[in-house]
Every structure is written in structure tokens, then in C-alpha cells.
Amino acid sequence: MVRAPFGARLRVAMDQRGPICAGIDPHPQLMHAWGLSTDIAGLTEFSRRCADAFAETAAIVKPQVAFFEAYGSPGLAVLEETIAALRSGGALVLADAKRGDIGSTMSAYARAWLDDASPLASDAVTLSPYLGFGSLQPALELAQQTGRGVFALAATSNPEGRTVQRARCSGGTTVAQMIVDEAGSRNREAEPMGSVGVVIGATLSEIPDLKDLNGPVLLPGVGAQGGTPGSVAKLMGEYGHLAVPAVSRDILRSGPDVARLRTATTQAAESFAFLKQS
């Protein structure tokens, strides 16, 4: 199947629906708050309501893969159904899997999330480059071939990440900056933006230089974790048009009513509408 590059499709979706990424995070606490059981039946209902709410309202939706994997093969079957429902409604899907390995194993991960033949195939997947950015090459190549995208973890907000991410490479740049620069090297001359994005915590006080990225920046941590439209605007500066704020718990706490979830998604998107003018 021939499709437009992920970066181009994401730009259109963000311009039409707003720039946010809605999350599907079936935490047991959230499922209880929705009056659902924490078994596979509850997971199925939680995911169905999210898909119904987000498929036609959000530009991109991020299912947190780990919460589905916790249920074994039945959970992965629910994830497959959720991905299909979201995409059939017009939303792009970002599988938050954070995969990273070398050689044939990385190739297998790439096929799972980026190959047309896989029932888990999404529009993009999150990857960990901390075995070396070059280890992601199988995924980068397959994403390019299939018109899909990747988001590489660069500067995360967890305190434990700082030791590695702020370490200096031999050239003097931080590891996080190196990852951003490596991603940007894959996005050169892409219009309107490239398909290799990075993940940067929305609650950080400083971030790597984005001038050469030309790709989307996923910003988890908006809402319950402290990120706001104002803080995202300050963090991204002149590169606000690349920002994809990830809003999960603030939207999901509006459930279980699907109409309320839709309204919360639209309101969140409207609160970040200024970003596309950056």
C-alpha cells in the first residue's frame, strides 16, 4: 500500500483536529474509577469507549502498550482491535511500545509495529535509542518504506534519565542532543515535516536545540503531571509548530461517558491551537 509519509499525514491531522495526542492508558485505578472490572472484559470496554471518543476527534492517539501486554494474548487482541477502530475513524495511531534492540531482534520489533502485514501495525511507534541510534536502523528503514514514523526517546522527564541523557559525548554535546540531531538528519528536506520524531518531557525546564530537527516532538506530561499550554509554549519557543502535546489522564478522567471524553479531547486540542501558528 502506498501512503503519504507519516510526517505529512500528521501535519494534516494536527491542522484539522488540533495538535494533541490523546492517550489510552488503562491503569487499574482508572478502570475502577470508570466502574469497570480490571479483567479482560474491563480492558475491552475501556478501550472501546476510548476508541469511540478519540477516533474522530484526536489527530493522533497513543495506546500505552504495556497495559495491554499485561493481559497476555487476550490483551494484545484488544490492542489490535483498538488500533483498527481508531484508524478506521481517521485518527493516527502511535503505539507507545518503547522498543529498542539490535540486529534481527530490532527488525522483528519493526515488523510488529510498522509492517502492513502485522495486525499491530500503527502509524508510528516509540523507540528507545539507548543501544545507539544506529541500532534503530531496521525500524527507520521500514518506516520509510511503509510511510510510517518513529519517535525516539530523547530527553525524558523522569529523574533517573538525567544521568544518561545529560552526559556529554566526545564532541561535547549531550546524549539527548545527539539523539535529536540524529533524528533531524533523517528529516532533511522533508515537507512539511519529517517522520522521525523525538520524545521530550513537557515538564523539563530546558530541552535540546531543535533547530535542525524538522520533525514532530511528542511532549508527554501535560495535565496531571504539570505540563500546561503556557509551559509547552515556553519550552518549544519558535518550534511550537512541531509540538505534539500528549494529554492522557486529564482527558481520561472525564470518562466513562463517551460524549464527555470527546468534549474533553476537543477542549484540550483547542487549548493548544496556538501552536500551529508558532
% of residues, the chain, pLDDT over 70:
98
Give Cα separations from 263 to 30, 133, 224, 252 (angstroms).
Answer: 18, 39, 18, 11
Distance CA 42, CA 133 (A): 38
Asked if residue 96 lies in contact with residue 126, where contact means CB atoms within 8 angstroms, the answer is yes
Active-site hit among 98, 211, 234, 276: 98
Measure the CA–CA gap between 254 and 244, rounded to whole angstroms: 21
Q: Decide if 98 is catalytic.
A: yes
CB atoms closer than 10 angstroms to residue 270: 12
Those residues of the chain that have pLDDT short of 50 are none
Q: Per-residue pLDDT tens for 168-186? A: 988 889 999 999 999 999 9
Instruction: State residue 277's pLDDT score.
Output: 56
Complete domains list, the chain, with CATH: 6-269 (3.20.20.70)
pTM of the model: 0.96
